[in-house]
Chains A and B, each alone.
Chain A
Amino acid sequence: MTKRSDRELLREQESAKYRWESTSPEMGMYDEAAQSDQMILNLGPYHPAMHGVLHNIVTLEGEKIVSVEPHIGYLHRAFEKLGEHYTYHQFLNCTDRMNYVSSPMNNIGWLVAVEAMMGIEVPKRAQYIRTIFNEMSRIMDHLVSMGILGVDCGAFTGFLWYFEERERLYTLLEKHCGARLTTTLGRIGGLKDDVLPDFVDDVRDFVKRFSKTWVDFDTVLTRNRIFMDRVQDVGAIDAETALSYGYTGPNLRATGVSYDVRKTNPYMCYDEFDFDVPVGEKGDTWDRYTVRVREMLESLKIIDQAIENLPEGPYCIEDPQIRLPEKKDTYTSMESMIHHFKLIMHGVPVPAGEFYHSTEAANGELGFFIVSDGGEGPYRVHVRRPCFYYYSSIAELLQGASLSDAIATISSLNVIAGELDC
């Protein structure tokens, strides 16, 4: 027997220290599993199939899932807390970072909520341009969701095709607001700038091209036998359970319930456009996928109508107490500078009170509950995130499924960690 070095002894002691023992309930879980035929698997927080930092502790029996324990909070940036220290305009930046896959939609949701609380009427042109960007970001969001679902089922090609189209949308956004991901689109009362003169042509081009590429997308995944077999009847949830968990948006519509805030509570100009609300039947992964595919076409219809009827006129409200002056005026005109200073330091005049307003984001009902004390910023702001409610059903949804189906199910719910934790 050779004499062990100090280093080896130390290593042994260290490893004994970290050996799993039933000292804490969490560690006990591993012991229990080891005694039975079960196995515990940590899916995430960093895992190629967990898009975003989602953490699921999965108990497996063979390939069947016995139970799932979801852990969230890895991307918690306390936006609700920050909101209490920000002005209404500053909080707009936080909304970018919630659902970062379709940030214009969050921006618009917040702006519409604040405007509704103030009771102001935004010019038609601004509404139409917002609608166009809103629907574009819905397409962007659905492209990511569908692409990722394809990747998780082993179809990488679709993902690349979708991202090519998404890239074009990013370019359009960049042209308007200078940023691609964190857009901070719009200001309270309208938009920051009018769109560039070639905006109409750009959007027309996009509509024309996308109606063609949509057919390609449809071919590469929707009519793909392997993909169909992989997702049909997987991760199904019935309408009643979905509603009790607070499902909204495409995941609810996949179960056959036609609920769309754009139809039930039309905000902006959605009552002026002609579009349908696609619904599914079974609420399985396949339905969640096809509802999104069809929704993209509806969005395209709205964009088409909006761009063809784009009204002329101001792009922002005229009231100097609300409208943030243009940058070029801020530096050259005394009056604009004073207004700019007042607006940045003291914010817009939002009345004291409590107000809830929601919009239809790509993932469902995005609501803002604002408590104001009449100050420069919200006294308390709460965000009703659609993902938070989907994801709370994950334990029930995945129970009894196989591990590979679970990946497809989580993927089809399109849970965005930034929105989930907020």
Chain B
Amino acid sequence: MMSETYLNTVAGRPERTALDWEQKVIDAVVAALDDSLLDVRLDPVLPHFLIEPARIIDIAETLREVGDGVGFPILLDLTAVDYSEHPDDHPERFAIVWHFLDREHGRRVRVKGYVADGQTVPTLSATHPAANWAEREVWDLMGIAFEGHPNMTRIVMPLDYEGHPQRKDFPIEGPERAKNVRGELQGNKHLTSWKELHDL
């Protein structure tokens, strides 16, 4: 774990040694998380931690005040990625990605945790109100629920909507249309014109 250089998250960029502040953050997170910290990498500009998602509240508290003028009290961004069609191997289907900000120095930290379909993640909304809507958005579009969230409902899609559109298996043209068009195509019927496609 405590190597001299760290892999880069962007392919083709060289491995690099951590900057002073990055090393401080890495040390603090290693001390706080121990076994729950799975991997440390360096983005071209920021450190990237792979953790067990169940420990997010601990890591958020660790990052809040690292010491020596380094601290990331602000939740900048929260999102999720569906890796089901990604060419590389990933331990689970989804990953939640948190970005934290140190506004005084313009430093950012990325925390990532893999979650399986149906697995829940602890909410950060109690300590970071910014997570409130961001987590609702992840639930709405990706279908990953956050445990302890005060209002885990859809936010951008209609309340009675079925499915989670940002998932890779959700067709871009919408499930109804996809069923009509693709279903017919699978039944050995070949379309000869655009008009026929329209009529389906």
Contact = CB atoms under 8 A, between A and B. Distances in A.
Nearest to B48: A354
A297 interface: no
A392 B130 contact: yes
A396 B132 CA distance: 13
A175 to B, nearest CB: 35
B156 A421 contact: yes
A244 B87 CA distance: 37
B43 interface: yes
A80 B168 CA distance: 12
Contacts of B76: 246, 365, 367, 384
Contacts of B82: 380
A39 interface: no
A391 B166 CA distance: 22
B120 interface: no
B9 A384 contact: no
Contact of B86 (A76, A119, A261, A373): A373
A391 B129 CA distance: 12
Interface string B82-126: 100111100000000101000111101010000000000000000
A356 B46 contact: yes
Given A356-B43, A392-B133, A246 B156 contact: no
A353 B132 contact: no
B110 A356 contact: yes
Given A81-B165, A116-B44, A369 B79 contact: yes
A344 interface: no
A72 B133 CA distance: 10
Interface stretch (B10-18, B28-36, B182-190): B10-18
B77 A384 contact: yes
A244 B77 contact: no
Contact of B10 (A264, A354, A389): A354
Contacts of B73: 243
Interface string B165-199: 11010101000000000000000000000000000
B141 interface: yes
A402 to B, nearest CB: 24
B74 interface: yes
Contacts of A264: 103-106
A306 B153 CA distance: 47
B75 interface: yes
Contacts of B172: 81-82, 85
B155 A374 contact: no
Given A259-B103, A351-B13, A243 B141 contact: no
A355 B43 contact: yes
Given A351-B10, A354-B10, A80 B103 contact: no
B163 to A, nearest CB: 12
A43 B56 CA distance: 37
A246 B75 contact: yes
Interface residues of A, number: 47
A388 interface: yes
A117 interface: yes
A369 B97 contact: yes
A90 interface: no
A146 B53 CA distance: 43
Interface in A377-422: 379-380, 382, 384, 388-389, 391-393, 396, 421
A20 interface: no
Given A354-B43, A356-B46, A76 B129 contact: no
User: By CB atoms of chain B within 10 A, which of A76, A264, A357, A392 has the most?
Assistant: A392
Contacts of B200: none
B109 to A, nearest CB: 10
Given A353-B8, A353-B11, A355-B10, A382 B157 contact: no
Interface string A259-291: 101011100000000000000000000000000
Contact of B103 (A73, A243, A357, A396): A243
Contact of A243 (B48, B74, B79): B74
B57 interface: no
A331 interface: no
Q: Which of A353, A356, A379, A421 has the most chain B CB atoms closer than 10 A to its own CB?
A: A356
Contacts of B110: 354, 356
Contacts of B132: 392
Contacts of B85: 379
Given A355-B9, A380-B81, A73 B157 contact: yes
Given A119-B10, A264-B105, 13 more contacts: A72-B156, A78-B165, A78-B166, A245-B129, A246-B74, A264-B104, A352-B10, A354-B10, A354-B110, A369-B77, A369-B99, A389-B133, A393-B129
Interface of A: 72-73, 76, 78, 80-82, 84-85, 116-117, 119, 241, 243-246, 257, 259, 261, 263-265, 351-357, 365, 367, 369, 371, 373-374, 379-380, 382, 384, 388-389, 391-393, 396, 421
- Closest 6 A-B residue pairs measured CB to CB? A264-B106, A246-B130, A353-B10, A73-B156, A392-B133, A382-B79
16 contacts: A72-B156, A73-B158, A76-B156, A81-B141, A81-B166, A119-B12, A259-B103, A264-B104, A353-B13, A354-B9, A365-B76, A367-B76, A374-B87, A379-B85, A384-B99, A421-B156
